[in-house]
Amino acid sequence: MTVPGYRDNPTEKWDPVAPVDPAEAEDFLRRCYVENPRLGPAEPRLAIVRAQIAATGTYAHTTEELTHGAKMAWRNASRCIGRLYWKSLLVLDRRRARTADEIFSLLVHHLRTAGDGQIRPVISIFAAAQPGRPFARVWNEQLIRYAGYRDEQGRTVGDARQVDFTAAMRGFGWRGKGEQFDVLPLAIETPAEGVRLYELPERATREVPISHPEYAWFAELGLRWHAVPAIANMRLTIGGVHYPLAPFNGWYMGTEIGARNFADADRYDMLPAVAARMGLDSSRESTLWRDRALLELNRAVLWSFERAGVKISDHHTESARFLAHLRNEEKAGRPAPADWTWIVPPMSGSLTPVFHRYYEELDLRPAFYLDDEAAAIARTGSNCPFPH
């Protein structure tokens, strides 16, 4: 399942000193209480919130508001094809955690909750940002990412996208094994402790070895991928309150791994190797060797995950389910924003029903946003608080 922000999500300028906008708080609360009649009328709650904002510049969500707000943010994510399941999101309220040790322990729990057995959508929401005060966050792009190393000849081992961030981690003292699939440590920053690095235990990093239903040699490529795609560097905003640390996951759609992580030239760039083992003619593009290799790479990913009992979805099935989501939202009288360039899968796009229509793009809140600073650190290590 594509999850919001899997690669790039719209950034939003955020002033961490500014107080909560009372109008945004009221808009969210009214919609939250309308969608959850069991909570009762919104007016008594609105009076409390207005008073809290006037006194402190912010307010605290109840557990019910936090839970529904996180689900609404997923529902509003215009770049996510898997929103049919927004109501199933498991929301873990972690707002009391303060120390890096506490946060790390809860992130490990998140990965185990999401990845043990069948993959399930989970979000862990840590403390809200307070106007004018520092806050905790994770600098990693995802809770699980593989390191990238570049040698003196310019050759890359591992994930090329992570080369600069890996260098930042190594500058902070982490070494790694220098192999293709070294799991990066988590870099957790808290106001009291600064930045601390933590190695994820194996029990939290469930992985799937990649083989092929027909080509026995495929296993010799040594490919594998982690089961849980948990986005770590996006900010959740609910009713004007910002949660800088709110990692979340869905499950993978196969093309995210097979057509992007493994196939992109600036990632693992596996198409030439697969084509060579298949004996394809790569001397000219008109042989469509890339297309043929891409298909088998994606077949291998889906087959391997299914054989391992790890939940994954193919792009045809997920496209049909997305249209079901649009019908549900239309029936509920709600807009369903979508970014065509993200909803259409990265292979066989015109064979899927999501290709043959247009969508309306809206910036609806609650929402997830990728902050400029977090994006720069996660991708390049620039402005990183680690010594180089």
Whether the model clears a pTM of 0.75, i.e. scores above it, the answer is yes
Q: Is residue 80 part of a domain?
A: yes
Residue 37, domain member (yes or no): no
Minimum mean pLDDT range among 1-5, 36-40, 42-46, 226-230: 1-5
Q: Which of 225, 251, 289, 303 is catalytic?
A: 251
Percentage of the residues of the chain whose pLDDT score is greater than 70: 93
* pLDDT: which is higher, 244 or 373: 244
The count of structural domains within the chain is: 1
Is there a domain that residue 36 lies in? no
Q: How far is CA 169 from CA 139, 166, 195, 380, in A?
A: 11, 5, 11, 11
What integer is the mean pLDDT of 290-309?
98
Considering the domain boundaries, does residue 22 fall inside one?
A: no
pLDDT tens sequence across 126-185: 999 999 999 999 999 999 999 999 988 889 999 999 999 999 999 999 999 999 999 999
Q: What share of the chain is helix, strand, coil (3-state, %, to 5)?
A: 40, 15, 45
State mean pLDDT over 342-355: 98
By C-alpha distance, which of 87, 122, 85 is closest to 321? 85
Report the pLDDT value the prediction gives residue 381, as an integer from 0 to 100. Answer: 56
| C-beta of residue 212 within 8 angstroms of C-beta of residue 220 | no
Q: Assess whether 80 carries a catalytic annotation.
A: yes
Q: Could you tell me the pLDDT band of residue 14, with boundaries at 50, 70 and 90?
A: confident
- Write the pLDDT tens digit of every residue in 323-336: 999 999 999 999 99
Confidence of residue 382 (pLDDT cuts 50, 70, 90): low
Check if 289 is active-site. Answer: no
Asked if pLDDT for residue 7 goes beyond 90, the answer is no
Tell me whether residue 17 is in a domain: no
Res 3: pLDDT? 42
Candidate from 68-72, 216-220, 357-361 with smallest mean pLDDT: 357-361
pLDDT at 151: 87
Sequence letter at residue 54: A
Q: Could you tell me what percent of the chain has a pLDDT over 90?
A: 89
Q: What is the pLDDT of residue 12?
A: 72
| CA 142 to each of CA 185, 245, 249, 279: distance values in angstroms, whole numbers, following the listed order | 11, 12, 9, 36
pLDDT in the model for residue 152? 86
| Full residue range of the structural domain in which residue 86 is found | 57-354+371-380
| pLDDT value, residue 11 | 59
- pLDDT recorded at residue 2: 43
Among the listed residues 207, 256, 296, 318, the single catalytic one is 256
Give tens-digit pLDDT for 102-124. Answer: 999 999 999 999 999 899 999 99
Q: In this predicted model, what pLDDT tens digit does every residue of 285-296 receive, in sequence order?
A: 999 999 999 999
In a domain, 334, yes or no: yes
Q: How far apart are CA 290 and CA 271, in angstroms?
A: 6
pLDDT at 29 over 70: yes
The answer to whether residue 44 is domain-embedded is no
Residue 369 bridge partners (DSSP): 235
Q: What is the mean pLDDT of the chain?
A: 94
Q: Is residue 21 part of a domain?
A: no
Distances (CA, A) of 357 to 314, 332, 341: 20, 21, 12
| 251 among known catalytic residues | yes
Across 212-227, average pLDDT: 98
pLDDT category, 306, cuts 50, 70, 90? very high
Q: Which two tokens stand for residue 66?
A: 């936090």
Catalytic residue among 31, 32, 79, 80: 80
Cβ neighbours around 96 below 10 Å, total = 9
pLDDT for the residue 13 = 75
